[in-house]
Structure 1
């Protein structure tokens, strides 16, 4: 079994064996403690702790307990934040709340703002903006260059905000929220056409 504790309000907890694509709900107590049975032949168990459908923590890969034993997962605290977007001429500013410090949060923090979009072949694509601070500025031209494979008929993208500790390989991942966003048109070139 996997036992653990969530710090903060919690909607649900799932145990996921990433390598085998198996998911199981965990039994959740009112104080945030949970326990989950491992599926047979588990290889890479992780727990997913959900504050909502758009905000969760994905644990590191947990050690497999000895047969009949228990693995204690580290405590994780949940983080939610809106993603604000301000467009001023050719500049785009993304802002969000910083991930708190303390128990259950990363000791060092790096943010990743994912931009998911529909590609011209119908598949989903994504680009990531990395930041050490709670916010990121880019130009409209740079964003359009990064989305070159985007389906030109679609302006709908999804923004997803993540944080992690850059010093831990395959470590936990905090997802603060998602939001839809409409991509503004590309900036105009000096001759009046799109750049």
Structure 2
């Protein structure tokens, strides 16, 4: 009896602690953290970037909740390596710069236009596209989901990005709700 109680307690605790699933009004919302070491995982044409510069990235996907949401996360991502569950790819172009200049038709908070690819080990992948906003700790912005494979084949709509730290190189990505 005691073993069954311990087992049930551990099972409940593991469901509560599961960081890649968030409950929202009875619906499941999948979420993942992304960490990019700006020094080793990203290539920019110039630093600081200029309007029109290219950005290429291959960073880590982690269970949601791995990166602290208060901006104190490990900017090198080294402390998260053991938790890696996938690879995050970016190809993009800057439409604004860090001095506040931007292309005339871009919004004042648009930084770049990107294509993102989230490859989750053993589960499949999904892609998004859209503008990346200037860094605002805790701020959110949408990305349009363009498609997915395997577990993510039917995913569509909008990915919500919550900025966690490292100047935008750490964020939490929320997929649309799933019944």
Same fold per superposition (TM over 0.5): no
Structure number with bigger Rg: 1
| Larger RCO: 1 or 2 (CA < 8 Å, sep 6+) | 2
Where is the helix percentage greater, Structure 1 or Structure 2?
2
TM-score normalised by L of structure 1:
0.28
TM-score normalised by L of structure 2:
0.29
